[in-house]
Amino acid sequence: MDSSKFRRTTARRTLAYISTLGSTQLHLRNPFVIAAWSVAFPGMGHLLLSKYLRGFVLFLWEVYINYKAHINLLILYSCIGDFEKAKQVTDIQWMSLYIPTYIFSIWDSYRTTVDLNNEYILAKREDADINSFTLNFIEINYLDKRNPWVSATWSLLIPGSGQLYIHRLITAFFLIAWWIIISFNSKLLPAAHYTAMGDFNSVKSILNMQWFLNIPSVYFFAMYDAYVNTVENNKLFDWEQSKFLKKTYQFTSFNMPSKNDESGAKMHIVSTFDHCIYLELAITEIEETGIKKENILAIPMDKKNDDIKLFDSIHNSDGLSLLDLPAILAVIFGIFGGIYGFVLKWGPFLWGLIAILTGIILGLIIKLILIKKSNHENQKKGTEVVLIIECNETELDMIKSILWSNKALGVSSLSINKN
């Protein structure tokens, strides 16, 4: 019997899975950052890992058990020194259920991150192909490059909308729903209104602090999750397109420009591109003019691994998130700003905003100090793909026009002078 019939036809591990509901991928993560989000709100660390079922269960558990045990009120009164009130509001029975699962959430998110980092290394070595486009009767999803700062900005305006921007529909709907629930129960919008009017006593009287102290965690988690996943989606797009170009447009028969070429009738056009959809549009349009695949050479450029870029962009994403520490400090400072704002003149809403801004600025300063070794040269964006096309002299202007119209960074023609 032919044993080849029983061989695997699919990869054992893949780096990503693209479905109509979203894109799930493996990438390296810092276990301490993931654990820190689980400290802020159980379930969030697992959601960052795309462990949705476990993350949703722990998130709902946190909301329900925290509410029944009055954990947030316990924190509030303990921090302002009213320990008798803290004892009175706490439900000991529910709190006994709360603590073990809270610790499990932190431990399990850390452990899972370590495991998934190892799985990522193995999947990267296996280097299996992925399907970058999916379509069915209700939705379309595809790999594309998007700006991480646009994701972060939309999430700051409407938590969950940054996830919609990058097509993480499950997380987006979950965050939007819970942002509405938490904002409504905490009386966030009326508190914002009274704060703007300067009526700080009304703010203190209407805010439900049990719900209000959840807001910094949910708000900045939505921003951080959208930002990080946009960065990783961009890197995944570059990787997938590089594999496609190497497989499809690197024929050994390609006639490289050479002074030993005796044909004398051929021209070579050299152009440079970023990794983007316009690169593939340019190549396929050139093929439609009659240029064969064998006459097109695409060379994805390797990126220097030790470059540290301070700001991720649509084309430069090194995976070193500038926002991890600022987001975590914003959550911590925001919670304590709301707590002490409960007894200070300006109220929890305004002091929460002041504390959040302080946490973000402090986090940015620390991050910038930690990566100070990054210099101006390391931040320059280099060419990502070099495209060489062999054609006749009569086709030169047409192909150049196609390249320029599809956002080529540079285009030049090469003709060997045989003297």
Domain containing 391 — which CATH number? 3.30.70.120
Domain identity same for 87 and 37? yes
Domain identity same for 217 and 338? yes
* Predicted local confidence at residue 306, as pLDDT: 47
Residue located via tokens 């987001």: 327
* Predicted local confidence at residue 112, as pLDDT: 94
Distances, alpha carbon 209 to alpha carbons 77, 156, 341, 351, in Å: 10, 21, 11, 14
178-215 core/surface letters (b: 16 or more CB in 10 A; e: else): bbeebbeebbbeebeebbeeeebebbbeebbbbbbbbb
274 phi and psi, to 5 degrees?
Answer: -85, 160
Q: Is the pTM of this model over 0.85?
A: no
- β-pair partners for 273: 385
Give the amino acid at 24: T
Domain identity same for 64 and 18? yes
Confidence of residue 222 (pLDDT cuts 50, 70, 90): very high
In a domain, 315, yes or no: no
Confidence of residue 354 (pLDDT cuts 50, 70, 90): confident
In a domain, 18, yes or no: yes
Domain identity same for 158 and 37? yes
283 phi and psi, to 5 degrees?
Answer: -65, -45
d(CA 152, CA 158): 10
Domain identity same for 286 and 141? no
Domain identity same for 265 and 192? no
Give the amino acid at 98: Y
Report DSSP letters for 338-388, one per residue: HHHHTTSTTHHHHHHHHHHHHHHHHHHHHHHHHTTT--HHHHS----EEEE
In a domain, 133, yes or no: yes
Domain identity same for 162 and 262? no
Q: Could you tell me how far CA 10 lies from the centroid of its own chain?
A: 27
Domain identity same for 265 and 237? no
Residue 258: give the domain boundaries.
Answer: 250-307+380-414
Domain identity same for 359 and 325? yes
Contacts of 151 (CB under 8 A, 6+ apart): 162, 165, 166, 226, 227, 229, 230
Is the CB of residue 124 less than 8 Å from the CB of residue 15? yes
Is the CB of residue 27 less than 8 Å from the CB of residue 235? yes
Is the CB of residue 45 less than 8 Å from the CB of residue 38? yes
d(CA 195, CA 346): 8
Domain identity same for 124 and 198? yes
In a domain, 1, yes or no: no
Distances, alpha carbon 83 to alpha carbons 61, 237, 244, 341, in Å: 26, 54, 63, 18
In a domain, 5, yes or no: no
Confidence of residue 321 (pLDDT cuts 50, 70, 90): low
Domain identity same for 232 and 328? yes
In a domain, 314, yes or no: no
pLDDT in tens, 357-410: 888 788 778 777 766 654 444 445 567 888 888 888 888 888 888 899 888 888
Domain identity same for 223 and 293? no
In a domain, 313, yes or no: no
Residue 319 has pLDDT above 90, yes or no: no
pLDDT in tens, 129-164: 888 899 888 889 998 889 888 999 999 889 999 999
Q: Number of structural domains, the chain?
A: 2
